[in-house]
Amino acid sequence: MYKNRFSRVGYVLAIAGSAIGLGNIWKFPYITGANGGGAFVLVFLLAVFTIGLSIFIAEIILGKIVKKDAVSTFETLSPKNNKYFKYIGFSFITGVLIISFYPIVIAWILHYIVLSFDTLPKSVSEAENYFLNYTQTGVFSQLFYFSLVFYSIYFIIKKGVKKGIEKLNNLLIPALFIIFLGMFLYSTTMSGFGKAFEFMFYVDFSNFNTNSILIAVGHAFFCLSVGVATILTYSASISDDTHILKATFFVVIMDILTAFISGLIIFAIIFSANATPDKGAGLVFITLPAIFYEMGSIGTIFAIFFFIALAFAAITSAVSMIEPAVMYLIERRGVKRAKATMIITFIAYFIGVFAILSMSNEFKEYLSVGGKNIFDILDFFTSAILMPLGGIAISIFVGYIMDKELLRSSLEPYMGKYIYSSWLFILRFLTPIAIFILMLKEIGVLNF
């Protein structure tokens, strides 16, 4: 049982910090750009408020009912004489694997913050060469920033729920929104803002297809940080007076607003520079730095604050990925928090070092399998297989396995009978099927 708990505001900001990550600020704009804009946004919203929200609420109620680590939660709620369901709780391993390579991206962000104070690349081609050269030859620089990120994560989690995680999110999430609000207000004065708004919200299905639907569903699932026991673990330390439905909708709205605002900012910058919004994952580290350079002194300011905002969003998500594994060691193995934090962060750090080396010219030949380096393998394995499996397992367990009366009595007071019935229907039938199809698509079994 948790000895300290989040305050109501602390809990909301903590799960918001977990959900709001690089997927909102980095990935959402470029997949929107590559999939037709407004039509994609519309389907994304539908997916968030059905599939994403159904698992999000399922994880919250699991944590709130039992108030223990993930493994103990599934073990407690499993039918008698059937404790195998406890292994669903080991989905926290996915978070450990994610946090082994996720801080590498944070390391790149920190490097670009420093770079923004110096000299940004002058063109897209120069920016592309710079980024590729940095990831392939800047091993020591990446290891320095990577180590700094991990020490920060260790320091925060070691402090615990109230003094570490809550304080971090109470500081960084409001700061993130203040930075974005300032950038957004300035972007409204840019020549490309009108075109950015039209691109984001004008629904045109002519450039939309089945593959775009699956990408929208996938992003709705991944952007809420579900399927890795993070929301469950945070919800185990929820205060008793927290209204979980209000907290859920507040977090989801914050999550969506972050994605929309970042998209409008980025597209306004891109369209003002007469560039195209379909540059893929290189948008943040290749296209934008070159445009920031062309903007002069205001571009330098934009670059600094943009990458700081990215770092804030990334570090709050990173912390949340570690906490479920730490709580498992504390509650199931009796390990002290400081030691548990050190064990988990060291394991993730050790894997991450090899992921960095696998991208370098010196070691990629020895640290690649089937043409994929360790970074790409970890990214694929967690996003295409483990997270979807975790989401499917949670939806099936809550929808079919756990005590129905306990579930109803725990949620109906917040939802009402009609909304509860609708939520349960979506969780039982729509969610697992949609995620399973998504997983088949991600691993290449289905092609659209």
pLDDT for the residue numbered 280? 61
Closest CA to 278 of 287, 269, 268, 291: 287
Q: Which two tokens stand for residue 423?
A: 């939520």
Contact between 166 and 335 (Cβ < 8 Å): no
d(CA 352, CA 345): 10
Q: Which domains does the chain carry?
A: 8-442 (1.20.1740)
Closest CA to 212 of 365, 359, 34: 34
pLDDT for the residue numbered 1? 44
CA separation (Å) from 238 to 64, 173, 344, 390, 401?
A: 7, 18, 23, 22, 24
| CA angle in degrees (0–180, nearest 5) for 254-175-327 | 70
pLDDT for the residue numbered 52? 93
Amino acid at 436: F
d(CA 448, CA 191): 37
pTM of the predicted protein model: 0.93
| pLDDT by position in tens, the chain (length 448) | 445 678 888 999 999 999 888 888 878 887 887 787 888 999 999 999 999 999 999 999 999 999 999 999 999 999 987 778 999 999 999 999 999 999 999 999 999 999 999 888 988 899 999 999 999 999 999 999 999 999 999 999 999 988 999 999 999 999 999 999 999 999 999 999 999 999 888 887 777 788 888 888 888 888 899 999 999 999 998 877 788 889 999 999 999 999 999 999 998 998 998 887 766 657 788 888 999 998 999 999 999 999 999 999 999 999 999 999 999 999 999 999 999 999 999 999 999 999 999 999 999 999 999 889 999 999 999 999 999 999 999 999 999 999 999 999 999 999 999 999 999 999 999 999 999 999 998 898 877 6
